[in-house]
Amino acid sequence: MIRRLPRSAALLVAPLSLGMAAAALAQAGRTLILNGKTASTDVRLIDGRPYAPLADIARATGQIVVKKGNGYELIAAGGANQVEGLRGKVGDTLFDGKWRFRVVDIQRVPSYTMRREGGIDPGKTGSRAEFDADGKTFRAKPGNEFVIVNAHVSNGQKSTLAFGSAYGEHTALTDDQGSSYTPVGWDQEGGMFTTKAMLPGAGQDLAAIFLIPEGTKLKDLVFTLTNVSDREPHDARVSLQP
């Protein structure tokens, strides 16, 4: 159980009596010992119950504190380049509490050959692209070009889930003129609509395929982080400007 004190919000605490196996309170110095190591020296007694700052507990267990609505959640730390929040740049890992998402690179190419499963929807390309007989190579017609967003996504949840790439309602590229372009296809293990199921902590690479007017000056990538049944998807925004 994680709770907020009804008074000063400067100190966020967790009751030591809940879920703190292998932890002990050194009464003399009000110190929290967790698995034989000092986790906090700021233990306080409130109404006769010992509490310690959430930040201290998170640090001692390799986690971070993330604000969730009107409460808080302890989640696994994501590494030195993880950005807490949903705005960043190419190379940043963005985490919404469920999915970790990182844009590896952006490629602008006249043609693209599929490397995994998935494909391109001809209904979304119209007459702007043509397809080779092998069904795997796609070529942009004059005045158009493909933008390939190579990304890595990993499951930060406790259950095995597939990432719902094509279920991302707001996924799009934006340009400096206020226009937006939605994906015309996906290249990923699992198929056209979702990745393959991932165990907790596992991840995989994917590519979102866009077809845009040649020479368009891109501004941002908006990418919806969701699984098929997620009722609370989140939109990550990655800056594409120098």
**pLDDT 10s digits, 95-143:** 998 999 999 999 999 999 999 999 999 999 989 999 888 888 999 999 9
**Alpha helices for the chain (secondary structure H):** 54-60, 122-125
Give the domain range for residue 180.
82-239
* Calpha distance 141→111 (Å, rounded): 9
For the cut 90, the answer to whether the pLDDT of residue 182 exceeds it is yes
Domain's final residue, options 76, 95, 118: 76
What is the token pair recorded at 44? 């306080």
Q: Are residues 95 and 185 in the same domain?
A: yes
Percent helix, percent strand, percent coil in the chain, to nearest 5: 5, 50, 45
Q: Is the pLDDT of residue 17 over 70?
A: no
107 and 58 within one domain? no
Q: How many domains does the chain have?
A: 2
Confidence of residue 234 (pLDDT cuts 50, 70, 90): very high
Considering the domain architecture, whether residues 48 and 166 belong to the same structural domain is answered as no
Domain membership flag for residue 91: yes
Residue whose pair of structure tokens reads 């979702």 in the numeric block: 194
CB 163 within 8 A of CB 194: yes
Q: Among 59, 76, 93, where does a domain finish? A: 76
Average pLDDT over residues 160-169: 92
Same domain assignment for residues 51 and 149: no
In a domain, 26, yes or no: yes
Q: 198 near 160, Cβ under 8 Å? A: yes
Assess whether 72 and 106 both reside in one domain. Answer: no
In a domain, 214, yes or no: yes
Predicted local confidence at residue 37, as pLDDT: 82
Q: For residue 7, is it within any domain?
A: no
Closest CA to 64 of 84, 42, 38, 46: 84
- For residue 219, what is the domain's CATH number? 2.60.40.1240
Determine the average pLDDT of the residues in 35-42. 84
CA–CA distance, 93 with 103 (Å, rounded to integer): 8
Q: Do residue 119 and residue 226 come from a single domain?
A: yes
* In the predicted structure, residue 192 carries a pLDDT above the cut 50: yes
Q: Are residues 68 and 105 in the same domain?
A: no
Residue with token string 């939605």: 182
Does 94 share its domain with 162?
yes
Q: Go through 128-138 and write b for each residue having 16 or more CB atoms within 10 A of its CB, e for each that does not.
A: bbeeeeeeeeb
Same domain, 126 and 31: no
Same domain, 170 and 96: yes
